């Protein structure tokens, strides 16, 4: 059968097959207008290559069909706050610059080009790492300040600063915290393809998993990473803990 006998259904099927072969997962689609645009363009590309008949009607039909499928699937617009959920496979519609974390004053900041458009898997991996390091850094920065003033019972003789982790009984507490963190990360707090990176639920029922609070967490985590590195570097250079750096 030559190309002149192909019908619209053939063209539509070839188009969807092509998209699926490229990793286009309908479950990941967050922007129905982009879905429509991609489907329409691929129809026209295939028509031009194989000389299908009635390309305009076919593309128009795909536009209507993909719109209906997008609506029935309940996909929304790709707006900040919806997060990145689902399997971390590639998607033409995925754009890292529209995700939570791209905010003022720098906006979407990726000078090294680590997150490519359509590469959701890499974005999820890097976002999970950013959240993890940010959370650890926030606790570390607060702890570096608090330990100057607060000593747990039995730890009164432990020095402040980095020396606490290598001086008993502070070293025992450090090992215990390290082991506990490993157990939680490998057991209780594991990443899921069905949730946003770093989303481990809301065990205390704060109901604060909103765009505003997620952006606050990311911003505070980024600031804390710089703070923790600064505290460590300053102490290694001067021998003074976080509070002693201010002459207190």
Q: What angle do CA 59, 88, 210 make, to 5 degrees?
A: 100
pTM for the whole structure: 0.63
Does position 56 have pLDDT exceeding 70, yes or no? no
Tell me the per-residue pLDDT of 151-184, one tens digit each, with 9 for 90 and over.
999 999 999 999 999 999 999 999 999 999 999 8
In the predicted model, what is the mean pLDDT of residues 78-88?
A: 46
Task: Categorize the per-residue pLDDT at 93 as very low, low, confident or very high, splitting at 50, 70 and 90.
Answer: confident
Does position 219 have pLDDT exceeding 70, yes or no? yes
Q: Domain segments of the chain: what residues?
A: 3-72, 120-246
Which H or E run includes 67? helix 55-72
Contact present, 225 and 162 (Cβ < 8 Å): no
> Which CA distances in Å does 231 have to 38, 129, 130, 227?
49, 21, 19, 6
Does position 71 have pLDDT exceeding 50, yes or no? no
Confidence at residue 190, expressed as pLDDT on a 0 to 100 scale: 86
Does position 57 have pLDDT exceeding 80, yes or no? no
User: Would you list the DSSP string of 31-60?
Assistant: -HHHHHHHHHHHHHHHHHHHT-S-HHHHHH
Contact present, 30 and 76 (Cβ < 8 Å): yes
In the predicted model, what is the mean pLDDT of residues 108-112?
A: 92
């Amino acid at each position: 059968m030559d190309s002149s006998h192909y019908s619209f259904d053939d063209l539509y099927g070839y188009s969807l097959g092509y998209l699926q072969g490229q990793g286009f997962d309908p479950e990941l689609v967050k922007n129905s207008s982009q879905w429509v645009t991609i489907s329409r363009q691929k129809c026209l590309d295939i028509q031009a290559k194989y000389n299908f008949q009635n390309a305009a009607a076919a593309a128009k039909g795909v536009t209507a069909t993909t719109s209906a499928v997008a609506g029935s699937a309940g996909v929304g617009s790709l707006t900040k706050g919806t997060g990145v959920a689902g399997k971390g496979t590639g998607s033409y519609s995925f754009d890292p610059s529209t995700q939570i974390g791209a905010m003022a004053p720098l906006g979407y900041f990726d000078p090294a080009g680590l997150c490519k458009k359509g590469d959701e898997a890499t974005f999820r991996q890097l976002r999970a790492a950013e959240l993890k390091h940010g959370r650890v850094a926030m606790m570390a920065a607060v702890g570096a300040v608090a330990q100057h003033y607060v000593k747990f019972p039995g730890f009164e003789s432990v020095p402040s600063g980095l020396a606490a982790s290598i001086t008993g009984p502070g070293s025992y507490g450090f090992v215990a915290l390290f082991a506990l963190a490993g157990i939680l990360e490998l057991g209780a707090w594991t990443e899921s393809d069905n949730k946003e990176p770093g989303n481990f639920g809301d065990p205390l029922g704060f109901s604060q998993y909103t765009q505003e609070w997620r952006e606050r967490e990311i911003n505070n985590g980024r600031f804390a990473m710089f703070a923790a590195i600064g505290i460590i570097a300053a102490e290694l250079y001067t021998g003074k803990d976080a509070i002693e750096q201010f002459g207190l």
